[in-house]
Every structure is written in structure tokens, then in C-alpha cells.
Amino acid sequence: MSKKIIYFLRKYWLITFLLTTLTLIIVDTQTLFLHHKTLIHILEIIISVTSICIILLFLLHLIVSILRHKKNELYIKLKTRFMPIIYQDHILENVQESIIAVALNKNNDIVYMNEQAKKIYGNLKKGDLEVLQTKLSLSEEELKEIKKQITSGQKWQGQKWLNTETKKRLLLHKISPLYSSSHLEGFLIVSSDITEFIEKHTEAETANISKSLFLANMSHEIRTPLIGVLGAAELLAKTDLDVRQQEHLSIIRRCGEEVLNIITEILDVAKIEIGLLQLNNKPCNLYNLFENIISIVKPLTAEKGLKLEFNLNFSSCTDALVDQLKLRQVLSHILFNAVKFTHKGKISIHAETKIRDNYKIFLYVAVSDTGIGIPENELKDIFNPFTQVDNSSTRNYGGTGLGLYICHKLIEIMGGNVDIQSSIGHGTTVSFTIPLTPANTRTSITSFEGLKTDNIMETDNQIEFFPPTVLLVEDNNLNQKIVAEILLNYGFEVVTASNGLECLNLLQKEDFDIILMDMQMPLMDGYEATRLIRQDEKWKNIPVIAMTAHAITGDREKCLACGCTSYIAKPFKSEDLISEIKKHLKTPVTDRKKRPVRLNLFMNELMPEFFATLGEMLEELDACIAIKDIEKVQSISHDIKGTAGMYDFNQISETAAQMEQAARRHIWEDIYILQQRLYNLYQDSKANFSEVS
């Protein structure tokens, strides 16, 4: 403080020096002016007043300097309060925003426009509100709404295009009320040109999508030859190798699998960012889904000496419509992480269905471990892409940091939410909740088109229609739609079921003339369902036609042995199916008017869904081949064979059939080759369809 006082004394030294000199002169010469006492008195008053002013100015300057040094709010308020109005005018005239003030009087006069507003809208005068309204592209309804909001003290905001001499500009208008002494006087229109911002934002989004598309395409292109490398390594492993060669081969396979996992994760992220991931909900038994996941994780926990505990309770909803592939992917990521970061102790899985929020059903899953844990300050970022706990974790455990990000996004796509709780040394619990839709036990499709002369009974001058009723039991949604459409085209009434249990449930409620039974289905297959049908007195005489993609010797005999009346192999032509049905209906059926053109159009409409489903089936097949789940490989290739055949993609169907046979014989080298062939056929067929459509 003393330094500041000295500083200001130096600053005012001239004034102080003159004042002091004048005072000394008056004192020294006072005797000379004895006869002029009035003059001396006036000089003393002047000196006193000047001294007081200098002292006050000195103190004010000191206070202001201290306040400025401390950046006190009081200084800012004082500076603003006493700023000359010309400064404010200068600021308003030089801002980039257009500013217009409109009075709320009879004529809604424009009372102020800054320079930018005049450049955009022209120099409008009082009473030109209609001209301004036109230039702002505001309708009468919008203007009324704006005035209504302004009078109620609210603000309005909107974007409007403006045609200029050079190009169209996008303006963001913000309209707010203007008050004077708490009285509403008018409204203020502030317009900002956001054209460049929107263009840059659009360019950035386009670049991001292009980057993601590039990543997706490159991931596919890299993944394809890598699968071939791993397949060749698998074949090489079956040859005679010495110990050193086996060690080198082991390194190739391990590194190849790690690269494949990384590429798969990058591909998933790219699909998420460009919005290619869509849900494909299908009926699913939750117990079967979790048992399958647990069977995959169990060997990994046993290898590390970890205890695996699980508690499953799906009593409120056992069968639900879910995207099994994506739900399995989420569970696999979470469980594999738990195994990776846990060295001793246990891993617990708790899963249950809950009813809440007006009887809505939710699936709740929690996976807990006794692993290394995550620092509390890292939890908020754990679901961000490329996030690892720390550098040491990256070195010790590897990984891309994409797993939990993918899980988070997949759960969001399924309409759920995810949470994580953890602490260092005490393990981690990852939990998520997703909404569930119970699987429908019945889907009924009825059509009476084409029933002009067929199956008609005339009684008491009244005509009644009796279309044959067909119970179609098929778990594949696409195949179900196609077969149902074929039957509808020929005038049948169709009721569908997705498995043997649904079939038996429907038989207890309704009567059917004939049953079309797919033989390979979840929960209860066609063989078991047919045996139970034949054991019941009410149903034992209903014809059951087996539909299966199996075409090897002995399948027909197996179907007939369980009680099926007849057998038709997928893929089949519509004429062959109808001919087989007519053979076994009790009441003769005359030929119905078919509509092949409509059927072809219907199949074309289903093509996008077919390719999406086939793509997911191939992804699931790749995952099963990677973990060498031979039973799932056989099952999925069987489904691909039937589905592709129904759409006349015979090469895909035949290749899938060869893979099914290779899986039955456990010939992995053939499976790897056929896997590559299937993927190439799928890509070619999809590209050809896109060109035609």
C-alpha cells in the first residue's frame, strides 16, 4: 500500500509543488499585504479548496486503481454505469448480428435498426412491419404466436431462409420482449447468420459418415482375407509339424484371432456411427439364450480357477421378442471383460424379468466380479470409445477400449440403459435393463380372395364359404411370410406358430384341416410335436406335412417315423406345396386361381429384409466358427440353406448345405473354405439386387 501512495505522490508532484510554493509565498509576504487582508483571505480560501480537491482526487484515483487491480465487480458496474452512450451505439453498429427493435403500438413501428440489419433487410421505416415480416419469412400465424409469447413475457426462436443476391442464407432469429420500467414497450429481433456454421457442421457430419463407411468397408475387406489366413492356419495345424513350427503356428493363430476381434469391434463401431445397426427381434427363450452364453464362458472361468455363479429367474416372461445376436454380443463383452480382469474369486450373473411401469416387462442383468476394479474418477468416461482404465491396464490386458462403448450403444438401440459400479481392489458390477415384448403365441393371417367357386356349400339358398385352414409351424420369420403368402394366393386360411409348443397350444383352441410342420425349431422341434399330436385322439388324424431343409438319405424316413403324413424338402415350388397339400386333405379341393405376379412382388418387397437377416445369420455363423461351436454352425447353416432356397438363391443354399454336412462330419478345413464362399456369394447377390432395384 505504501508503494501505491508513493506512486500517486509522484504522479501529483507538480500540483503539490505549486500549491506548497504558493502557500510559502503568501506566508512570507503576508507583512507586505497587511493593508490587503481581503485579498489574502481569498487566496487562503482558494488554496484550501484546491488542496481538498487534490486530496479527494488522489484518494478516488487510489481506490479505483485498487478495484481495477482486483477486478472487482463493483469496478465493472461503475465503468458500465458511467460509460458514454456513444460507446454503446458504436458496439451495436459493429456487431455481426442484425438487431431490430419494434414498438408494441398501434402501427408496430420499427424504432431501431443497426447497420447489419439495414444491410440484410434494407433501411426500413416506421410502419414497415409487414415488409419486415415478409423478409423474415414469418406467416401470419407465426407472427400472432410471437406476439402472444412476447406479451406473456416469453421468448421465441426459429430458423428461416433468406434469399439474397448471392445465395440463400439461413438465419437464426431470437425474439425477446423489451421492457421500460417493468412495462412492456416492444420486442427485440436479433438475427444471426448461421449458414456457414450449418454448412461446416454438415460437412463434418458427412466426413464422419464417410470415415465410418470407409472403416466399415475396409473392416469387411480386411476381415475376409484374415478369415482365410486363420482357415489356412487351421489346416496347417493338422499336418506334421515339429515343435518349433507348432509354436510359430500357435503365434500366427493367436495374433490372427486378436486382429480379427479388433477388426470386428471397429466394424461394429462404424455401423453404430452411421446408423446401420437395426434391431431384428425374433422369438427367443431367455433360459436357452443365457445357458448358451454361460456354456461359452464356463471353460474360460475354469481355466483361470474362477468360480462361476448364476441366478436366472424369467418367471414373468420366459419367451420374448429380442434381437438375440445383439443381446448375446452385449452379454459376451461384459462376461469376457469380467473374466479378463479377474484373477481370483468369482464371477456372478444375475438375470431376471421384472414387471413395472404399468405392467411393462423389463429384462434386468447384472454381472459382478472380484477383479481389479476401476478408479472412481474413471467411471464417468468408461463408456466412451477407446477408453481404458489406465496405461498399465492397456499394457497388461490389451484391447481397444471399444467393448463397453459397443455394449452401451447396443443397449441404447434396444431401448435400455446401462450402469457400472466399481472400486479399486473390490471388483466391478455392470448392470443393464432393456424393455421386453412377450413373444406372441399366435399370428393369424386370413384371406378370402380367389374363393369364387371353390369349397362352397349351398344350403337353403344361402352360400357359405369354407376355406381349408392350414396351421403353418415355422420358426423362421421370412420363410413363414413366404409360405403364408403362397397359401393365401391359393385361397387357404392360414394360422402361424413359431415352434412345437405354440402349435400344440393352438390345436387345443381351434380345428385345422392340415398342418405344415418345420422339423427343426427351438423349444420343441417338429419331431416331438408330431409325436405328441399322434398320441392325442382328437388330433391323430390331422394330416401333418413335414417341411425341412434336410435332403440327405434317411430324413424322409425319420419324418415319417415320428408320425408325419408326408414330406416336402425346402426349397420347394409353390405348385409342389399345393399339390402335396391337396393329396392329403380329406375334402377334395379344386384348383384355385393363383396370383404369381403378386407373389413375385411380395418376395421383392421382402428382399431387403432377407438380405438383412442373411447378413446377421452370416455374422452369427462367423462368431460360432471363431469359438468352434460345431452344433451352432450346423444349425445356422441349416437355416441359411432353407431361407436362401425359398428365395431362389440356389448357390447360397447349396453352399450352406455343404457347410451343414461338413459340420456334421467335423471337417473344419471345409467349413473355413465354405465360410469364405458363402460371404462372397452373399455380397455378390446383394450387389446384384441393388443394381436391379
Burial class (CB in 10 A: 0-12, 13-18, 19+), 529: buried
Q: Tell me how far CA of residue 85 lies from CA of 73, 81, 91, 94, 227, in angstroms.
A: 20, 10, 10, 15, 75
Are 401 and 381 a contacting pair, CB within 8 Å?
no
Neighbouring C-beta atoms of residue 107, cutoff 10 Å: 10
What's the CA angle centered on 519, arms 518 and 522, to 5 degrees? 90
Q: Provide the pLDDT for residue 23.
A: 62
Q: For 388-526, list the strands marked E by DSSP.
A: 417-423, 427-438, 443-445, 456-459, 462-465, 469-473, 493-497, 514-518
Mean pLDDT, residues 29-34 taken together:
54
Residues 641 and 649: their CA atoms lie apart, in Å, by: 9
Grid cell in block for residue 628: 468352434
Burial class (CB in 10 A: 0-12, 13-18, 19+), 480: buried
Q: Provide the pLDDT for residue 457.
A: 39
Residues 649 and 327: their CA atoms lie apart, in Å, by: 29
Q: For 274-356, list the strands marked E by DSSP.
A: 282-285, 307-313, 319-322, 346-356
| CA atoms in the 13 A half-sphere facing the CB of 270 | 18
Grid cell in block for residue 537: 385322439
Residues 46 and 53: their CA atoms lie apart, in Å, by: 11
Residues 437 and 655: their CA atoms lie apart, in Å, by: 35
Q: Provide the pLDDT for residue 128.
A: 66
Q: What does the pLDDT look like over 225-254, one tens digit per residue?
A: 776 677 777 777 778 888 888 888 888 877
- Answer yes or no: pTM beyond 0.75: no
Q: Provide the pLDDT for residue 367.
A: 93
Q: Provide the pLDDT for residue 391.
A: 46
3-state secondary structure of 181: coil
DSSP state of 354: E
Q: Tell me how far CA of residue 359 lies from CA of 250, 316, 418, 440, 657, in angstroms.
A: 53, 11, 21, 16, 44
Altogether, the residues listed in the chain come to a count of 693
Q: Provide the pLDDT for residue 530.
A: 92
**Matching residue, cell 415319417:** 560
As a whole-number percent, the residues of the chain with pLDDT over 90 amount to 7
Sign of the dihedral through C-alpha 411, 412, 417, 418: positive
Q: Which residue type is seen at 326?
A: K
Task: Report the chain's mean pLDDT, rounded to a whole number.
Answer: 76
Is the model more confident about 273 or about 194?
Answer: 194
Q: Provide the pLDDT for residue 559.
A: 86
Q: What does the pLDDT look like over 590-649, one tens digit per residue?
A: 444 444 434 444 556 667 777 888 888 888 888 888 888 888 888 888 888 877 877 778
Residues 439 and 444: their CA atoms lie apart, in Å, by: 14
Mean pLDDT, residues 569-584 taken together:
81
Grid cell in block for residue 572: 420347394
Q: What does the pLDDT look like over 392-428, one tens digit per residue?
A: 444 456 566 677 888 888 898 888 999 999 888 889 9
Q: How does residue 449 score in pLDDT terms, banded at 50, 70 and 90?
A: very low
Q: Provide the pLDDT for residue 672.
A: 85
Which of 372, 412, 414, 413 has the alpha carbon at shortest distance from 396? 372
Residues 368 and 349: their CA atoms lie apart, in Å, by: 7
Q: For residue 350, list its beta bridge partners.
A: 311, 366
Whether the upstream peptide bond of residue 571 has omega within 30° of 0, thus cis, is: yes
Q: How does residue 150 score in pLDDT terms, banded at 50, 70 and 90?
A: confident
Angle between helices 324-340 and 403-413 (to 10 degrees): 150
φ and ψ at 467, to 5 degrees? -70, 140
Predicted confidence (pLDDT) at residue 140 exceeds the cutoff of 60: yes
Q: Provide the pLDDT for residue 87.
A: 64
Q: Provide the pLDDT for residue 549.
A: 64
Are 151 and 193 a contacting pair, CB within 8 Å?
no
Q: How does residue 473 score in pLDDT terms, banded at 50, 70 and 90?
A: very high
Q: Provide the pLDDT for residue 443.
A: 37
What is the largest distance, in Å, between two alpha-carbon atoms of the chain? Answer: 153
Which of 606, 359, 667 has the alpha carbon at shortest distance from 483? 606
Q: What does the pLDDT look like over 656-667, one tens digit per residue?
A: 888 988 888 888
Q: Which of 67-81, 136-150, 232-246, 492-506 has the lowest mean pLDDT?
A: 67-81
Q: Provide the pLDDT for residue 389.
A: 56
DSSP state of 376: G
Q: How does residue 481 score in pLDDT terms, banded at 50, 70 and 90?
A: confident
Q: Provide the pLDDT for residue 11.
A: 55
DSSP state of 379: G
Grid cell in block for residue 81: 454505469
Q: Provide the pLDDT for residue 154.
A: 84
Predicted confidence (pLDDT) at residue 465 exceeds the cutoff of 70: no
Q: How does residue 461 score in pLDDT terms, banded at 50, 70 and 90?
A: very low
Grid cell in block for residue 416: 435400455
Residues 319 and 221: their CA atoms lie apart, in Å, by: 37
Q: For residue 177, list its beta bridge partners.
A: 187
Q: How does residue 542 score in pLDDT terms, banded at 50, 70 and 90?
A: very high
As a whole-number percent, the residues of the chain with pLDDT over 70 amount to 72
Q: Provide the pLDDT for residue 40.
A: 64
Are 54 and 13 a contacting pair, CB within 8 Å?
no
Q: What does the pLDDT look like over 343-402, one tens digit per residue?
A: 899 999 999 988 876 678 899 999 999 988 888 878 887 777 766 655 444 445 656 667
Of 118-122, 488-492, 651-655, which has the strongest mean pLDDT? 651-655
Q: Provide the pLDDT for residue 347.
A: 92
